[in-house]
Amino acid sequence: MTQEGNRVTGTAGAKDGAVPPARPVPPGENQNLVPEERTELESLRKQVSELRSHPPRTRRRIGWRAPVATLLIVLGCVLAPVSVIGVWSANQVSDTNRYVANMTPLIHDPAIQGALTDKISNQINAQINVPALAKQAAAELNARGLTRIAALLQSFSGQIASAVQGFIHSTVARVIASPAMASAWVTVNRIGHQALVAALSGRGNGAITTSNGQVVLNLGPLITVAKQDLVNAGLTIAGKIPNVNATFPLFPSKDLVKAQTGYRLVNDLKIVLPILTLLLLAAGVYVARRRRRALIAASLGFAASMLILGIALLIIRGQYLNAVPAATLPSDAAAAAFDILVRFIREALRALLLVGLIVAAGAFITGPSAAAVRIRSWFTSALGWIRGSAEHRGISAGPAGEWTYAHRRGLRTGAVALLAVIFVFIGHPSVAEVIWILVVLVVLLGLIELIGRPPAPGVATESSPPQAPPPAASPTG
């Protein structure tokens, strides 16, 4: 191979596949080449020209980490709302105090009180039957020769019945709003909690049962309290009312069938679901190549899943209100009952949505982006100014400040871990409690930065790497 061929070959094999521009060929340079060399040279020039017009494309390697991490995070976000519903259902079934706390506000809601008043008053009026009693009294008066009084009694029997019914309704309304009825309501629900367990497990028998396509609450104990108050108010005839097994509809039993199906599944997974959700999210973040970005995505996805759960509750609420006939339960009472019964779910999803946003914000602020660096620099500068002003006035943390500065990373991690443990062991954190935990965490982190005093120049700290000795002077000559 001639020198010309070697030069062209070296040009074609340049580093990283880059093709340098073609060198202009002086006139007559190819005249001293043999035909084989000239043919090879032309072939190499053609290859260089093709490489210059079509540079080689580097293939981007697609790894397994990104799709696997995405799949794990998506599965965790999908399971998050299911976990919330599962834990709520398990608490309503297994924790009597939690169930009673959920049911107690129903008796204090004006719409529920009005519906109960109408239901109980109708049952009592049906048992008393004032027109029949007035007719019977008029017949006795006629038999004794008091025909004028009997005629007056028959003429005003309708007004008397209306007056008695109004008296019964007002008395029952007062009883329903009384502390005695509230106590009876709590007692009924506490006793009926086991009946709710039986109803959800398909063995319904007790205070809460199914009847005519509805899940109903037995009003017998409440009617007994109302009867006693009527007798105490002077309506002694109410004492002759026999025991009544009236019921109050809660929701359609077709929804109970769905609840029973979900109960059997969720009751077995009430502990597994939350743990599995957290493991999936943690595994997705761990597998990801860029873990901080994956943590932000997982946190925002978790918060979005809670938002979707809230939207789903609104849709279910509308379907429930449309499914309950107004004759069975007034719309305002049905809406109040639904809102009260699912309020713990709403509190939980709001708190978890806030937690997701807080984690995402924390991951972003501690990241390397320009905005995050500016935020941290502003925060550090502000605390440094406060610390400098205090030291200028003779207030200094001294050795404790230097120790805090040297161990600041461990202290930060400990503060975050401590507040995370508190959040977990609260059991049922509300939005207010989450905000308080966040405030305490910010205060703790601020105190660590404020107390942590950088050491004087030249003083080594535990977190600073040892400085290398200065290089020895090289011998001359």
| Distance, CA of 475 to CA of 168 (rounded, Å) | 114
Average pLDDT over residues 139-163: 67
Average pLDDT score over residue span 100-128: 81
- Asked if residue 156 and residue 22 are part of one domain, the reply reads no
Please report which confidence band the pLDDT of residue 294 belongs to, taking 50, 70 and 90 as the band edges. very high
DSSP class per residue in 7-61? HHHHHHT-GGG--PPPPPPPTTGGGGS-HHHHHHHHHHHHHHHHHHHSPPPPPPP
pLDDT value of residue 140:
67
99 & 49 share domain = no
**Do residues 95 and 197 both lie within one domain?**
yes
Same-domain check for residues 105 and 45: no
Helix (H, G, I), strand (E, B), or coil: what is residue 214? strand
Please check whether residue 75 is in contact with residue 69, taking contact to mean a CB–CB distance below 8 angstroms: no
Q: Are 359 and 416 in contact (CB under 8 A)?
A: no
In terms of domains, do 36 and 127 share one? Answer: no
245 and 102 in a common domain: yes
| Sheet arrangement for strand 247-252 | 208-211, 214-218, 247-252
Helices (H), 270-369: 272-287, 291-323, 331-341, 343-365
Q: Are residues 32 and 133 in the same domain?
A: no
What is the distance between the terminal CA atoms of the chain, rounded to a whole angstrom?
46
Least Cα distance to 305 among 358, 354, 353 occurs for: 353
Output the pTM of the full model: 0.61
Give the residue from 114, 245, 118 showing the smallest Cα distance to 177.
Answer: 114
Q: Which of 254, 287, 306 is the last residue of a domain?
A: 254
Assigned token pair, 136: 């019977």
Residue 19 predicted with pLDDT over 60:
no
- Is there a domain that residue 421 lies in? yes
**Based on the domain organization, do 41 and 149 belong to the same domain?**
no
Question: Are 32 and 159 part of one and the same domain?
Answer: no
> 277 burial class (0-12, 13-18, 19+ CB within 10 angstroms)?
buried
Highest mean pLDDT (candidates 84-93, 274-283, 396-405): 274-283
> Which residues are paired to 371 by β-bridges?
none
Domain limits for position 424: 368-451
Q: Which residue has the higher pLDDT, 213 or 447?
A: 447
- Closest Cα to residue 300, out of 352, 375, 376? 352
Let me know how long the chain is. Answer: 477
Question: Structure tokens of 351?
Answer: 């708190």
- Supply the pLDDT for residue 12: 43
Residue 64 has pLDDT above 70, yes or no: yes
Residue 477 pLDDT greater than 70, yes or no: no
CA-nearest of 357, 331, 381, 366 to 434 is 357
Alpha helix stretches (DSSP H) within 33-177? 35-53, 65-94, 96-103, 110-128, 130-143, 147-155, 157-176
Using alpha carbons, select from 210, 308, 312, 201 the residue that is nearest to residue 260. Answer: 201
- Is 471 a residue whose pLDDT tops 70? no
212: left (phi over 0), alpha (psi -120 to 50) or beta: left
**Does 138 lie in the same domain as 36?**
no
What pLDDT, on the 0 to 100 scale, is given for residue 315?
92
49 and 91 within one domain: no
The pLDDT of residue 308 is: 94
Q: Is the dihedral of CA 38, 39, 44, 49 positive or negative?
A: positive
62 occurs within a structural domain: no
Residue that terminates a domain, selected from 254, 272, 300? 254
> What CA–CA distance (Å, rounded) separates 32 from 38?
9
What does the alpha-carbon distance between residue 420 and residue 442 come to, in Å, rounded to a whole number? 13
> Hey, which of 136-145, 161-170, 176-185, 433-442 has the most confident mean pLDDT?
433-442
Q: Is residue 199 located within the same domain as residue 247?
A: yes
